[in-house]
Structure 1
Amino acid sequence: MAKYQSRLDKRSKKNTNKLLNIMIAIVLLLIVVVGGTIVFGGGGDEKATTDAPKSSETKDADKSDKATKEKDDSVSMDEKDDSKDKADDKQKDEDKKKEDEQKKDESSDEDQDSVKLDGEDQSKMKVEEGTEPNVVKTMVHPNWKPIGTEQTGEHVSSYDTGSVDWNEKVKATSYATAIPESNMTIWYIEGNGGPQKSMATVTAKDTKTPYRVYLQWVDGKGWQPTKVQELKENDKD
């Protein structure tokens, strides 16, 4: 009987150990499962959060940011276009200014080639003693040229005060004597032996010195002085 009881005790102890081992295995399995759930479940939540659909507020914010960026880009483009337009306008103004200056220089060169309306260099004037009773001296300048004209077509000499032809005769007389028109008194302008020849008797207001200027018409170019005489006295006064 004691032997039989000993066998029962051994079997019971063996079953108990087996049960304990099973429970330990279950506990270990649960630990592994729970640990894995925590580790892999957290990553899944993060991914789920990342991949989750955006809320309406988030979408509105994204749209607002996009609209703001597009507006900024539009403003930037407008500023660039405005700056380009200003630069183009400035360049046009500079080009026009240069063109005007070039035309002015060309016009000035043409005037230099044609006549100096304030008189030629007097040092080049050829002067001879007068051989006529009322002539002090006779002067001829090698650089005298036609003064230019506004008249077209066949030229008809005019002695009407204020006419184009009359004014051009006065201009040529001022050019030959170097007396400004504002300082010149015109006593007489008359013909001189031909339809295209004239002569003017004038004095300077400040000196009262009388001069007689001989003029010759050049077709298409205007009146050209041929000689100037300084008179002893004004015979047209």
Structure 2
Amino acid sequence: MAQEEPNFSRTRRKKRRNRSNRILNLLIGIVVLLIIVVATSIILQGGEDQADEDAVADQTVTEDNANTEEQAPTGNVTDEHDEDGNDLQLENDPEIGNEENRQPEEDNTHSPGTVTIVPSEDKVIKETVIDTSWQPIGTTQTGEHISSYDGKSVDWEEKKKALAYATGLPYDSMIFWKIKNGGGPQQSVGIVSSRDNEKKYRVYLEWVDEKGWKPVKMDVLTTLDFDY
């Protein structure tokens, strides 16, 4: 067998080398492409995961805010309770005050009533007032009622409270000129004035069982200089 020419052998080796280089470059290109694809996929997946986490976080914050708004008080709390759940009056409650200055509780079943004012021709009386909204002043007395004119009795004190209630004069600063029988065992009449005598009244009272003394008529006086 004849030997190959040296130039021919070099040419074959060069062609083989070039083909190997092309295959190697192709493989390298495929690997780089795969790396790019995988890296892109990881980056996109990471972005989606972050977006999902942000959405969940936003939803959680929104729900927390909604719960906070639902639980927040909608006004000033004005009542308090003791350990047993009973209502307690606040110290600044306007209804709390001197027992003597309290007005009788209004019965919601009653109408507001009407006030009738009748001018008088009597020189002692300016006018007579009848207010149908007047209520019994209340009482702590029990059992059969006996009208008392003892200045230290409970009944006497309740008469004075009824007089203050009808006239609107402050109990602690009004003058009680006379409290006497008003014509029956359960009737009384009282003459009172302001401390400066500018306001003068004669009030007629009637006793209501278990409810106390109730004003029924009041004379606005022009003078205290008369026989009473």
Task: Normalising by structure 1, report the TM-score.
Answer: 0.50
Aligned to 1:214: 204
Equivalent pairs, count: 137
1:112 partnered with 2:105: yes
Name the larger-Rg structure. 1
Q: 1:190 matched to which residue of 2?
A: 180
- Quote the residue 1:31 is aligned against: none
Q: Determine the structure 2 residue equivalent to 1:167.
A: 157
Cα deviation for residue 162 of structure 1 reads 2.3
The CA distance in 2 between the partners of 1:126 and 1:94, in whole Å, is 44
For residues 63-78 of structure 1, the aligned pairs below 5 Å read: none
Higher helix residue share: 1
Structure 2 unpaired stretches of 5+ = 1-79, 97-102
* Unaligned runs of at least 5 residues, structure 1: 1-92, 116-120
- Output aligned runs, 1:1-237, within 5 Å: 94-96=81-83, 99-101=86-88, 112-113=105-106, 125-234=115-224, 235=226
Q: Could you tell me the percent identity over the aligned residues?
A: 40
Query: 1:111 and 1:144, CA in 2 relative to 1: closer, same or farther beyond 3 A?
Result: closer
| Length-normalised TM-score, structure 2 | 0.52
SS of structure 1 residue aligned to 2:219: strand
Paired letter, 1:162: K
> Alpha-carbon deviation of 1:96?
3.5
Cα distance change of structure 1 residues 102 and 199 upon mapping to structure 2, 3 Å threshold: same
Distance 1:209 1:182 in 2: 15
Distance verdict in 2 for CA 1:129–1:98, change over 3 Å: farther
Return structure 1 stretches of 4+ with deviation > 4 angstroms.
Answer: 102-105
